[in-house]
Amino acid sequence: MVHLYYDSKTGNVQRFINKVIQITGWQAHKIEEDLNVREAGHLVTFTTKLGCVPDKTQSFMDSYASKIFSVTSSGNRNWGKNFGLAADKISEDYDVPLAMKFELSGTMEDINQFIDIIKHQYNDSKRGSQKLDIA
């Protein structure tokens, strides 16, 4: 079973996750203060303040980075070079492979690409320092 851990502020990541779990049946866990991570999985978050990692996501990674196989971030292409930058920062700071970035709540193409990446490159695999760089 694939586990997804996600943080959503405006609902974009939540909508993306809802579509993914509807298609796959994977387990999704919203990042909250009382979340206790028992199973390794994949992080999906958002980028805030023109390129920053959200505080809740940062705190989650400080506690559970060793259980995260990959990171994906939503963003807005209007932010230019800061698009989805939270994923880049998390990837670099915690040595977690970057799976992909998507805009707002993602398109069906984004959702299918994400599912394909997770199924074929990170399904129950051990995390290493290898960077996917598919984004």
- 38: helix, strand or coil: coil
- Residue located via tokens 């259980």: 67
What b/e sequence results for 95-118 when a residue is b if at least 16 CB atoms lie within 10 Å of its CB, and e otherwise?
Answer: ebbbbbbbbbbbeeebbebbbebb
CA–CA separation, 27 vs 7, rounded Å? 14
Q: What is the C-alpha to C-alpha distance for residues 85 and 34, in angstroms, rounded to an integer? A: 26
β pairing state of 27-30 and 41-46 = unpaired
For 47-103, the pLDDT digits (tens) are 998 889 999 999 999 999 999 999 999 999 988 899 999 999 999 999 999 999 999
pLDDT tens digits for range 4-61: 999 999 999 999 999 999 999 999 999 998 999 999 999 999 999 888 999 999 999 9
Domains of the chain: 3-121 (3.40.50.360)
User: pTM score, two decimals?
Assistant: 0.88
Pair of tokens at residue 107: 């398109």
